[in-house]
Amino acid sequence: LSLVDVKEDFFKVLHPKLTVLIAAYSKDKRPNVMACSWITPASEEPPLIAAFLARTSYTRQLILESKYFTVNVPTLDLLKAVWVAGTRSGRRGDKIKAMGVAVKPAKNVDAPIIDGCAAYLECKLNQAIEVGECTALIGEVVEAYANPQLFQAGAWSVERAKLLLHLGGALFTLPSGTVKAK
């Protein structure tokens, strides 16, 4: 079998990737949100996550200013809102309104959360590192909460939680079934 060069699409080799909505306030407390799939846990103790945001991103700018953000995990019913969040900039116009979602303040950080998501992480900016054309925003997780019908006993119930896994472009896939390694 001969393998073919995929250098142009190297990043899609690391997909499918869970797509989340990242939200923050502007200085005048207007909520903004973006879609992100370049995100990963970074440390269990202390609890840290890393999100890679384009340097041109408006949400990145807001997080660097406010030092707080939330990670909102949407499911299939929010696909249209995710697509709007991922393809428009909040610099011009009200993206929240275009997404058709409701926001409210987070519990313990100065950032908004998006109604109707399956789980939430509330984060305080810990470190910002320039990496190529992106900035790695390292967030300390101060709160984490989830819908108990979808996330149970420390894991997603993938048959119930229709998590959006980004394949590239407008294409997503869903997790299905479980296999045990031992």
Task: Give strand ranges (E) for 55-118.
Answer: 68-73, 103-105, 112-114
Pick 13 or 27: Cβ nearer a copy of itself = 13
- Give yes or no for residue 105 binding a copy of itself (CB under 8 A): no
Amino acid letter at 168? G
Residue 114 to residue 72: CA distance in whole angstroms = 7
Q: Which is nearer to a copy of itself, 25 or 120 (CB)?
A: 120
Among 82, 101, 106, 111, binds a copy of itself (CB under 8 A): 82
Dist. CA 64–CA 54, nearest whole Å = 13
Parallel/antiparallel/unpaired status of strands 48-54 and 68-73: unpaired
Q: Report residue 6 as tokens.
A: 């995929």
Q: What distance in Å separates the CA atoms of residue 44 and residue 20, rounded to the nearest whole number?
A: 19
Query: Does residue 106 bind a copy of itself (CB under 8 A)?
Result: no
Q: Which of 5, 27, 92, 97 binds a copy of itself (CB under 8 A)?
A: 5
Out of 21, 22, 39, 62, the only residue in the binding site for a copy of itself (CB under 8 A) is: 39
Part in contact with a copy of itself (CB under 8 A); list of ranges 23-31, 57-65, 95-103, 155-163: 155-163
Decide if residue 176 touches a copy of itself (CB under 8 A): yes
Q: 104: closest CA among 162, 28, 29, 163?
A: 29
Map residues 107-126 to x or -, x wherever contact with a copy of itself holds by CB under 8 A: ------------xxx-----
The binder of a copy of itself chosen from 27, 28, 97, 177 (CB under 8 A)? 177
63 binds a copy of itself (CB under 8 A): no
- Contact residue for a copy of itself among 26, 66, 79, 128 (CB under 8 A): 79
Can you say whether the dihedral through the CA atoms of 10, 12, 17, 21 is positive or negative?
A: positive
